[in-house]
Every structure is written in structure tokens, then in C-alpha cells.
Amino acid sequence: MTNLDSARRRAESDAKSRGYFLNPDESFLKDLLEGLVENERRYGYPSCPCRIATGEFRLDRDIICPCDYRDADVEEYGACYCALYVRRDVFEGKAPLRPVPERRPAKRQAAAVSYASGAIASESGGSKDKADVDKAEKGNALGGGEPGMKLWYCKQCGYVAFRDEPPYVCPICKAKKEMFGEVKLGLVG
């Protein structure tokens, strides 16, 4: 059972390893951590407190905190979607904190909402909804890959990540994003 303190410690250590900061507004931060704890109690994993989850791991995987969209949002907007993680300038109050637009692809969101509404529980109706879910699931399969996903390696320490953009900061050696190069795979022979 995760409590508020352990949720905070988990987020703090993750922020530190990635070069981010937690939201400096203490009461806002507490609300977010409470939301994460509540979602973990409900679903068994800490899905984003600001997004609708289904309780189906395959449909919620991308919004389990830290979500798949965090790095890109922190870089572009200074905060992730729920604003748990923020960039240094936002933490220091040098840049404003504004609502972050939803980056999660519409098809994934539609699949989650369809599921949450029970539309795919019945085999008869909701064929479009079922298709949404199937499509969203397909993107999850390893190797099937979501479009734009690439392998990146840290030129400083060799850390490798599979994602659309290189990490903001290398979680191992703290090298900056610019130190990442793309791994090109090809068949030799």
C-alpha cells in the first residue's frame, strides 16, 4: 500500500534522476500525490491523476506515472500534463506554469473512454469503440512499435532508450539530451 510519503519519495527520486523538479506549490503537489495514491489503490498502479483511467493495464500503460508524454511536455511546456514534474525555470519561478495541452494520441484516449463507458464490454454494439481499443493495443506490442519510436544511446555512458525522443537528461550519467545519438539498426550479411 502506497502512502503519501512513499509516493513523494518515489517522485522525488525519479525527478532527481531525470533532472526535473517536483511542483513547487506544496498544496498543489499534495493534491497530485493524493491523486496518484488513490489511483494506485483503485487500479493497482499510479495512473495520471489528471486523466481518465480504465483499470485495464494494457489501456492505461502509457499514462502510468511517469507517463510516456512527460519528457516531451516538460521540455516544451515546462511541466508534464498534470504538472507533477516541472523544469528548473518553472521550479524557480522564472517561467510561468500554464495548463499543458493533451499530448496523448486521440485514439488512445478514445479507447480508454470507450472502455470506461462499458461500450466494449458487449460484443454486439460499439464496433467502432472495439476498433479503437484494438488499435491502441496494437501500438503496445513490442516490436510492432509506435510510429516515431527509435533507439537512442548516450554517447557518454552507453545507456540505451527506446522512445520517440532522446531523454531530457541521461538517467545514468546525467549527460544532456544533445549527447544522445540514434542507433540505426540494419541487417548485415
Partner 1 sequence: MQVVKVPGKDKRHKVFLYALSTCAWCKKTKKFLEDRGIEFEYIDVDRCSKEDVAAIKSELERRGAPMSFPLIIIDDKVEILGFKEDELKEALGV
Pair 80, 69: CB distance under 8 Å:
yes
Give me the helices (H) in the chain, please. 4-18, 26-43, 57-60, 70-77, 88-91, 106-116, 127-138
How many CA atoms are closer than 13 Å to the CA of 60, on its beta-carbon side? 22
Q: Whose grid coordinates read 532522446?
A: 166
List of long-range contacts for 38-42, beta carbons under 8 Å, 24+ apart: 40/2, 40/7, 41/1, 41/2
Least distance from C-beta 18 to partner 1, angstroms? 20
- Give the shortest CB-34-to-partner 1 separation in angstroms: 7
Diameter of the chain by CA atoms? 59
For partner 1, how many residues bind (rule: CB under 8 A)? 29
Q: Could you say whether residue 86 binds partner 1 (CB under 8 A)?
A: no
Do residues 34 and 8 make contact, with C-beta atoms less than 8 angstroms apart?
no
Nearer to partner 1, 51 or 70 (CB): 51
* Candidate list 26, 93, 106, 185; residue touching partner 1; CB under 8 A: 106
The yes or no reply on residue 64 touching partner 1 (CB under 8 A) is no
28 or 159, CB closer to partner 1?
28
CB of 51 to partner 1, least distance (A): 8
The reply to whether 51 sits near partner 1 by the rule CB under 8 A is yes
C-beta of 100 vs 179, nearer to partner 1 = 100
Residue 116 beta carbon to partner 1: minimum distance, rounded to whole angstroms: 5
Residues 1-30 that bind partner 1 (CB under 8 A): 28
Of 110, 103, 114, 116, nearest to 53 by C-alpha is 116
> Residue numbers of the site for partner 1 (CB under 8 A)?
28, 31-32, 34-36, 38-39, 49-53, 82-83, 98-102, 106, 109, 113-114, 116-119, 121
